[in-house]
Every structure is written in C-alpha cells, then in structure tokens.
Amino acid sequence: MSRPLEGWRWPRVFAESALIVLSILFAFGIEAGWSQRNDRVSEVEALQGLRDDFAENVDRFAESRVEHTEIRDAAIRVLALTGPNAEAPPDLVMDSLVMSLIGGPKVFAVTATYDALIASGRIDLLRSSPLRRGLATWSAALADLGEEEREA
C-alpha cells in the first residue's frame, strides 16, 4: 500500500505556504496603510472645513456685535429723548429709533462641517481629544446662544 504523502517535497510545500501567508499579510498591511492614509486625508479636509466655518463665524459674530452696539445706542437715545426733561423729538426720529429696537439681530452660526462629522459618526477622525472636547463645548455654547436670543 502506498502512502498518499510520499514523494511530496516538504521544504517546497512549506516555502510556498509561507509565501502565501506572507503575501496575505503584506496585502493586509497595504490595505491598513491605505485606510490610514485616507483617514488622514479626511482629517485634513475636516480640519480645513472647521477652520473655514470658524472664520465665517468670526465675521458673523463681528457683524452681530456691531448691530447690537447700534441697538444699544438707539436705546440710549430713546431713553434720553423720553426722559423727564426731554423735548419732544420729531416723529421721524422717534420712529426710526423705535424701529431699530424691534427684532434684534440673530446669529446663525455656520456648523456645516461639524454637523457632517457628527452625522457621519466620523468625529473620531480628529485625533486631538482636546479638539473633540472643544467641539462638544462649541455645540453647547451655540445652543445657549440660541436660547438667549429666543428669550430676548
């Protein structure tokens, strides 16, 4: 009776097996490296988007500050014009001042990149834990601002 494994070249079988295993490990390594590279590219894109959003928000908040200052100045003028010793101002002046007091400015912050990161579940792309915590604080600060504006 013959043995089924007789005649096999065992060193060659082991070498081919090792080569197959190494090829698979090499492919996994390439895939992991490519995935990590794509994550870093996505992180850079997210950081650039956040930077652009925050730059736009700086401009919006600066405009809002100017509008709030104008409203404050108009309120001071109304108070001065309606005080105990004030002379009656022309109707057009008073109308203009009262209109500027109605419906103060509302700030609508740009949160497109932040919202996309949260919705996609990819906030973990940002490797910086302080940045992730800061973004969580940013969201709460915007919610507080919106609440204060609704109450005003």
Q: How far apart are CA 47 and CA 84, in angstroms?
A: 57
How many C-beta atoms surround the C-beta of residue 59 within 10 A? 10
Query: What pLDDT does residue 54 have?
Result: 93
How many C-beta atoms surround the C-beta of residue 151 within 10 A? 6
Predicted TM-score (pTM) of the model is: 0.66
Predicted confidence (pLDDT) per residue in 7-50, tens digit: 778 888 899 999 999 999 999 999 999 999 999 999 999 999 99
Residue 115 has pLDDT above 60, yes or no: yes
Q: How far apart are CA 78 and CA 95, in angstroms?
A: 10
The single-letter code of the amino acid at 94 is M
Predicted confidence (pLDDT) per residue in 62-81, tens digit: 998 888 888 888 888 888 88
